[in-house]
Structure 1
Amino acid sequence: MQQQLSPARVVLLSPEELQDIVGASVRRALADVLRTMQTKDVMTEAEAAEYLGFAPNTLRQWRTEGVGPRYCNPTGSVRYRRDALDAWLASGAAATAAPRRPRS
C-alpha cells in the first residue's frame, strides 16, 4: 500500500522574520551546548574570554563601555560566572566589539 503525501505548504516570511527564527534557534542550541560543557562555575577574565571565543582585551573594552556579560569584582580581580556568560549568549547580545571611532 502506498502512502499519500500531503500537499506542500508555502510559508512566506520577510528576511527579518527568517533572521529572528534562525537566530533564536541558534541561540537556544548554543546555550544548550554550553550548558552541557564541563567548565568551572566562576572563571577568570582569561578563562571567560576563551569560553566565549573572544580576546581578554575585548572583555576589558566591553566592561569600560558598560556592555557585555555581567561580571563581579569581589577581591579586586574580575570574575565571570558561567551562568551569566550563558545568559548573555542566550540573550542574543551583540557578539562583536563595537566599531572603533577614528582618532582625531
Structure 2
Amino acid sequence: MGRSFDKYIYNIYIYTCKNYYFTYTYWSKYINLSPFIIYLCIKYENRRSLKKSISTSFLISFTIELSKLVINILYISNLKIFYPEDLILNILGGSIGWFAFNILYKEK
C-alpha cells in the first residue's frame, strides 16, 4: 500500500509541476551565470570584454556538463544528463551578466 501510494503522490506532483518545469528550467539557466560574470567583471579589469566573458561562461558550463556526463558514464547516478542546450543557455546567461555589468557600471 505504501509503495503504490508514494508512486501516486509522485505522479500527481510531476503532473502539477509539468507546466512550470519548462519556464523554471530555462529562466534559471539564463540567470545561472549572470551574477558570477558580473562579479568577475567587477573584480578583474581584464575580464571586462564580451569575448572573455563568453569564454569564461563556456568553460564553467562545459565543466559542469562534462562532470554530469562522467558521473552518468561511471554509473554513480542516472539522474545527471548532459544537455547541450544547457551550454548555450549558460553562455547566454553569461552574456546577459556582461550586458548588465556594462549598464550598471559604465566607465567614465
With structure 1 as the length reference, what TM-score do the two structures score? 0.32
Tell which has more relative contact order, 1 or 2 (C-alpha 8 A, sep 6+).
2
With structure 2 as the length reference, what TM-score do the two structures score? 0.31
